[in-house]
Every structure is written in C-alpha cells, then in structure tokens.
Chain A
Amino acid sequence: MLVDKIKNIAPEAEIDENGILTVTVEPAKYRELALRLKEERDLSFDFMICMTGMDWGDSLGVINLLQSTVHEHKLFLKTFTTDRENPELPTVSDIWATANLNEREVYDFLGIRFINHPDMRRLFLRNDWIGYPLRKDYDANPEINPVPLESEETLDATSTFEINPKDGEISEKENILFEENEYVVNIGPQHPATHGVLRFRVSLEGEIVKKVDVNCGYIHRGIEKLCESLTYPQTLALTDRLDYLAAHQNRHALCMCIEEALGLEIPERVKYIRTIMDELNRLSSHLLFWSCLCMDMGALTAFFYGFRDREKVLDIMEETTGGRLIQNYNVIGGVMADIHPNLIKRIKEFVKYLPPMIKEYHDVFTGNVIAQQRLKGVGILKKEDAISYGASGPTGRACGWSCDVRKHTPYGAYDKVDFKEILHSEGDSFARYMVRMEEILESLHILEQLVDNIPAGDYAVKTKPLIKLPEGHYFKSVEASRGEFGVYLESRGDKYPYRVKFRSPCLPLVSIVDLITKGGKIADLIAIGGTLDYVVPDIDR
C-alpha cells in the first residue's frame, strides 16, 4: 500500500489518512522524500497539481498536491519551518518544473526562500513591495504600499540562495538573466497579442528567440487574500472573475469543494444543469479562442465569424442565468434559479447549427496554407515536459497526455454521458488548435445527450446563510476550458476560509512559453501564445 511504501522511505513522516493521504515531513527530509516519490516506479508522482504556500500561524510552509499519471493516486506532501524571520525551505523545482513559478509565488506571498531555486524573484508583486501579503500578520495599510506612479526597475539579474554543506551558512549568488550585450525586446504589458496584460522580455539573436522571461502581476488582484475575509457564499463571486471565459467551471469547482466539505448531497437535476452550463461555457471559450487566434495571425474575418456564433451561446446562457460573460449561477447546494423553459429548445437548435459552421471555419482558416505553415511543427511540447510543467487541458492533450478531469475523476453528470477525450500526439501549435476544434464538436455531443434527460427535482438544496466548514483541508478540481482548475481550501471551522488557493490552469501554460519558443522565430511567439490560449487574470489571480 501507498502508506507502507512512504513509511519505508521516511519512517519519521507524519501520515494522515483522512481524505487524500497527507504526508508531513521535516524540511531536512523533504527533498529526499520528494525525489523518491517521483522516481520510484510504483509511486511515480510525476504531476504536481498544485503548490500552496501556507501560514499556519506558528509556522510557514508549503503543501503540495501530487498525482501520478501512471497509477492515478494522489497525495499531499507537506513541510514547514517555524522560523518566521528567515523562513527557508529546500526547492523541488528541479524535480517538478511547475514548482519553479509556484515557488516564486510562495516567496512573493509568504517570503519563504527556497534554497537552490535558480530564480528567487517576486512573481506578481513589484520588487519594492513591502511585506508578504498572504501572511496572517500582513499590514494592509495603503500608506505602506501606495499606488506607485513610476514603473519598477527591470532587473537583468536574479539571485539563488545556496547552502554551504560544511557550516550550513546560506549565501546569495547572483544569476544573470540577460547579459549586458544581449538584444532584449520587451513585449507587453500593453500589447494586443499578449491577450491581456502579460509581459515578456525576449532575448533575440536576429529573429531567433534565445530566451523568454515572463513577467506576471499586471492584473494580480489578490483574490486569495480577499477570500480569507469573505464568508463562503461570498467567495463564489470572485471565482467567476478569475478566468472569465470559464466562469461556470471555476465556480463549479469551488461549489463542489465546499459541498464536499459539508457533506451535502446534490440533486441529480443540479448536476445535469451544471454540466450543461459547463459545456456551453467551454463552447463559448473555444469559439473565442478560434476568433482570437485567427485575429492574431491576421485573419480578421474569422474574428467576426467566431463572435457571431459565440453570441448565440451567450444568448442561451443569458436566458437562464441573466448574465452574458459572468453569470453568478452556481451556488452552494445547487444553482441560483431553475432553467429557462426555452433552454432545451435553444440548445437543440444550436447543436444542429454549429457543426456546419465549424466546417466553414475549417474551410476558411484551417486549410489555409499560411495557417498551416505557421502552426504545423511550431512550438513543439513533449509529453513529459507537459506533465512536469503541469500544462494540462487542451495543451497537454495535444501532446498525448490523457489529462481530462472529466474522464479521470468524473464529476457532475460526466459519468453518465459518452464522449471521447481528444488526444493528439504531435504537441505542436496545430495539434493544440485541432484539439480545441474537435472539443467543440465533442461538447455539442455531450449537450445532445444531456438536454433531453434533465431529471425533475429541486434546482438547489437549502443551505444556511452562514456556512461553517468542518476543520480540515479539501481539494476539488474540474476541467475548465484551458486545463485543470482546482480549489484548495483549508478550514479551521470558522465561517471564513482559513486559506483558499486556486490552482490556475494558465500559470503552467505561461511557464512553458520559454521552453517551446526557444530556437523559434519571434513571429511564432504570437501564434504559440494564441494556441496556448492563456487568460492573464487567471495567471495572476
């Protein structure tokens, strides 16, 4: 069994078998255990779903959710340090590549320095930001950090903290990001092709990309900290605004997480309605993906075609939920209101309407020689890199990684419908593009099966206005439009969550930009960004 194997490796580890297995180790044993969890064949935890920095009051630490793509088991790996002045933990960024940006995030929010991490800069906040906002004793006085009127200085160097094995002293070493004579082009934060306010610093050799340095935080809204001062029903509203193109799906994840913690039984009708809404949302998102990718590559007419059809999806959603983009429809225990009488009829019409349009899309764009040449064989991502970086969703499936949460851990009504998980093996931009186009048809197929079978019953179960979750930690994830969206929730039995962390599907996507653009042309950066389809507020949260 899993527990016995872990006891073998680390006999002193504290193991909690309640819910998902939780293993707590001292920092000294953390790296060794992490390495063996990844490397040992019958464990092979190769996918780090999410890393959460925590302030437990008396100690600071991280809690990582690991999964094995081979055996499909999950585990929480937890470590902590009681030193609040100079908290230090060993890095695992060389074991799981996704930990690189995640550890920078933890450093940014909690001030934990990771020893031997190659790039210990802040990820979201400015370099001159005072304090660590996710610490419980953070002083949010606006006079300490006023709205700045000057941009921060862009640094070409970063630091690594190393430990001397002899005396245990920690020393800072400078790491050069860009040399003095390198040709560095700045793209963003205000650039129409970065899909929001993302900033790349690109080092060029002629028109060949040598290195891409991603700068995030231009839309970091501090949602996780805000959630800590909101009651559970209030936190729901903020999830819609993370990845606004997956509003339903995000909210679905948080609702499911809270419902699971409460032990709430959800009526079948609600599961069907939520699944239908999730798929409609996926349709609207993928249609927008197609429109924007084509526009980025210069095909402006495609933008109008895509938006024309997307409006139809929005109409269907609007009738039931009252919102176009942000619907605020899911609530704890159900949905806000029952479905509109027209919904079934409209969906049936739409399911017939869209496939000929998709064919038209393929005729006007996919077959186009320019599109083919700019997408095929460009920005190739390998399957093992996708897993290591945690790039799930259509991006992961385009390189053959079967990572669809709907298939692997079905939620809602996904266990009752028959659908294919779209898998391609090339891993290039074109595969990413085709996965999404085929997923549109698959979503229609799911809708088709669901609309006629919505069971009768309540659309919500009654809940108390003040919800208190039992003590413990919970994790729930859904397949959002761009990948696995997860919610990690830690409760201390209050009406407010102690810590909420959103596992954003877009942060891993942006972390692979450097990997897959390296050696390519600068112009391909735009097409690669378009096919990765990240949403910047979801990266920054």
Chain B
Amino acid sequence: MKYEEFNDNEYLEQLRASGTNVIVGCLDDVINWGRSNSLWPLTFATSCCGIEFMAVGAARYDFSRFGFEVTRASPRQADFIMVAGTIVHKMAPVLKRLYDQMAEPKYVIAVGGCAISGGPFKNSYHVVQGVDSIIPVDVYIPGCPPRPEALLYGMIQLQRKVKVERFLGGKNHKEKENKE
C-alpha cells in the first residue's frame, strides 16, 4: 500500500503542527525512521488471534519486511505488545505487570474484538471489557480474528505513529503519572 493511500488518521500529521525546531526535528526524523522500522514485539498471545499473529510472522505474510521479526520473549527487550486474544480477570494483573516491565518508549496494539471490548465474550463474568481499561492502547485492530493483512495494516499504523513522535525534547506518548 502506498503511503498516500493512508487517508484515515490524518490527525497523526496534525500532531506535528505544534512546530518543531529544524535541527532537532531533522534528528527526530532520523531517529524515528530507525525506531519505527525496528519495532520488536513481545511474544504474547492468549488465544485465537495469536495464531494469526504467528501466521503474520511466517513466510507468506512475513512481517520482517517491516522490521517486526525480532519477537522477544522478555518484556524488558520488547518495544510493543500485541494483545492478541481475550484478557480475563485472572490474566489482567499479569498483562499489567508485563506492560509495566517494558522499557519506555512502549506501545500497545489491541488485536481483535476481545482485546478491544470483550468481543463475543462481552457478557461473560470473567472477561475484561477491553484492555484499554488496564493499559493504554495505541492501535486497535478489529476482527475476530483479524486477517493477517489487517494485522500488518495495524502494525504499519503504529509505525506511522512512532514516526510523528518527538523523540527529543518531549514526547507525545504520555502516561498518566502514578499518584502513589
């Protein structure tokens, strides 16, 4: 897909309208170019969407074309977490901890209906109604499960988001301060 064809999400470019210093801005571009093309996902999957995530990693869809191939088993080495699958009450604290263990800057992609809102299990007594109630989410990929193309599209959206960030002197990706 050509870059111009990403017609949605124009707000991302608007984020940059705040005015950036030329030298720092150029440096930002270079750093972000590098960062966005080497995003390392955490090997994390709870259910069906995880199999599609594996399919994206395999030969036909091959996310290493976009620099995602270094899947990490440890959250300390990962840049983003694909929440692929249902998150239930018992898993929620574990997911929160995994997110907390990741080093900044870190991103979250919610994959599939379950991670977005609870999906087909929304009415269940033991399912979290969307992971955004536990951790901040950057990109949502709908589907049950989403096709590999959709996963790739979502991951490329994340790359765009990384590209417009200001790496030096401030950040767009802000977390709420913990007031404890």
List A residues at the B interface (Cβ < 8 Å): 124-126, 133, 138, 140, 145, 147-152, 189-192, 196-197, 217-223, 225-226, 229, 237-238, 241, 244-245, 288, 291, 303-304, 307-308, 310-311, 324-326, 536-537
> Residue on B with the closest CB to A237?
B120
1/0 per residue, CB under 8 A from A, across B77-103: the answer is 000000001101111111011100000
Q: Decide if B48 is an interface residue (CB 8 Å cutoff).
A: yes
Q: Are B94 and A326 in contact (CB under 8 A)?
A: no
Q: Are B48 and A197 in contact (CB under 8 A)?
A: no
Q: Is the interface of A mostly helix, strand, loop or mixed?
A: loop
Q: State the Cβ distance, B13 to closest chain A Cβ, in Å.
A: 33
Given contacts A147-B134, A288-B51, A325-B48, contact A197 B91 (CB under 8 A): yes
CA distance A152 to B43 in the complex (A): 23
Stretch at the interface among B3-11, B30-38, B123-131: B123-131
CA distance A324 to B95 in the complex (A): 27
Bin chain B's interface residue count: 35 or more
Q: Are A218 and B91 in contact (CB under 8 A)?
A: yes
Q: Are B97 and A219 in contact (CB under 8 A)?
A: no
**Neighbour of A221 across the interface among B58, B124, B147, CB < 8 A:** B124
A-B contact count (CB 8 A): 128
Chain A contacts for B132, CB-based, 8 A? none
- A138-B125, A145-B125, A149-B96 given; name 11 further pairs at CB < 8 Å: A124-B126, A125-B90, A125-B126, A147-B134, A196-B47, A219-B91, A220-B126, A221-B126, A223-B121, A237-B120, A238-B120
Chain B contacts for A219, CB-based, 8 A? 46-47, 85-86, 88, 91
Q: State the Cβ distance, A254 to closest chain B Cβ, in Å.
A: 15
Chain B contacts for A303, CB-based, 8 A? 58
Given contacts A151-B97, A238-B120, contact A220 B47 (CB under 8 A): no
Q: State the Cβ distance, B63 to closest chain A Cβ, in Å.
A: 13
5 contacts between A and B (CB under 8 A): A147-B92, A220-B90, A241-B48, A244-B48, A324-B145
Q: Are A241 and B120 in contact (CB under 8 A)?
A: yes
User: In the complex, which of the residues B51, B54, B75 has the most CB atoms of chain A within 10 Å of its own CB atom?
Assistant: B51
Kindly list the 10 A-B residue pairs having the minimum CB-CB distance in the complex, ordered from nearest. A307-B58, A222-B124, A244-B48, A151-B93, A537-B47, A222-B126, A218-B91, A192-B43, A221-B121, A304-B59
Q: Are A191 and B123 in contact (CB under 8 A)?
A: no
Q: State the Cβ distance, B103 to closest chain A Cβ, in Å.
A: 16
CA distance A339 to B88 in the complex (A): 37
Q: Are A140 and B125 in contact (CB under 8 A)?
A: yes
Given contacts A221-B86, A288-B51, contact A149 B127 (CB under 8 A): no
Q: State the Cβ distance, A533 to closest chain B Cβ, in Å.
A: 13
**Neighbour of B133 across the interface among A126, A147, A229, A288, CB < 8 A:** A147
Chain B contacts for A190, CB-based, 8 A? 44, 75, 94, 98
User: In the complex, which of the residues A138, A148, A192, A221 has the most CB atoms of chain B within 10 Å of its own CB atom?
Assistant: A221
Q: Are B92 and A149 in contact (CB under 8 A)?
A: yes
User: In the complex, which of the residues B50, B52, B88, B134 has the most CB atoms of chain A within 10 Å of its own CB atom?
Assistant: B88
CA distance A79 to B45 in the complex (A): 39
Chain B contacts for A226, CB-based, 8 A? 121, 123-124
Q: Decide if B144 is an interface residue (CB 8 Å cutoff).
A: yes
> Residue on A with the closest CB to B48?
A244
CA distance A220 to B121 in the complex (A): 11
CA distance A220 to B46 in the complex (A): 10
Q: Decide if B60 is an interface residue (CB 8 Å cutoff).
A: yes
CA distance A51 to B60 in the complex (A): 42
Q: Are B89 and A126 in contact (CB under 8 A)?
A: yes
> Residue on B with the closest CB to A221?
B121
**Neighbour of A308 across the interface among B54, B60, B133, CB < 8 A:** B60
Q: Are A241 and B89 in contact (CB under 8 A)?
A: no
Q: Are B89 and A145 in contact (CB under 8 A)?
A: yes
Q: Are B46 and A218 in contact (CB under 8 A)?
A: yes
Q: Are B92 and A241 in contact (CB under 8 A)?
A: no
Chain A contacts for B93, CB-based, 8 A? 148-151
> Residue on A with the closest CB to B45?
A196
Q: State the Cβ distance, B53 to closest chain A Cβ, in Å.
A: 11
Task: Please provide the chain B residues from 130 to 176 with a CB less than 8 Å away from any CB of chain A in the complex.
Answer: 133-134, 144-145, 147-148
Q: Decide if B55 is an interface residue (CB 8 Å cutoff).
A: yes
Q: State the Cβ distance, B99 to closest chain A Cβ, in Å.
A: 11
CA distance A138 to B88 in the complex (A): 18
> Residue on A with the closest CB to B124?
A222
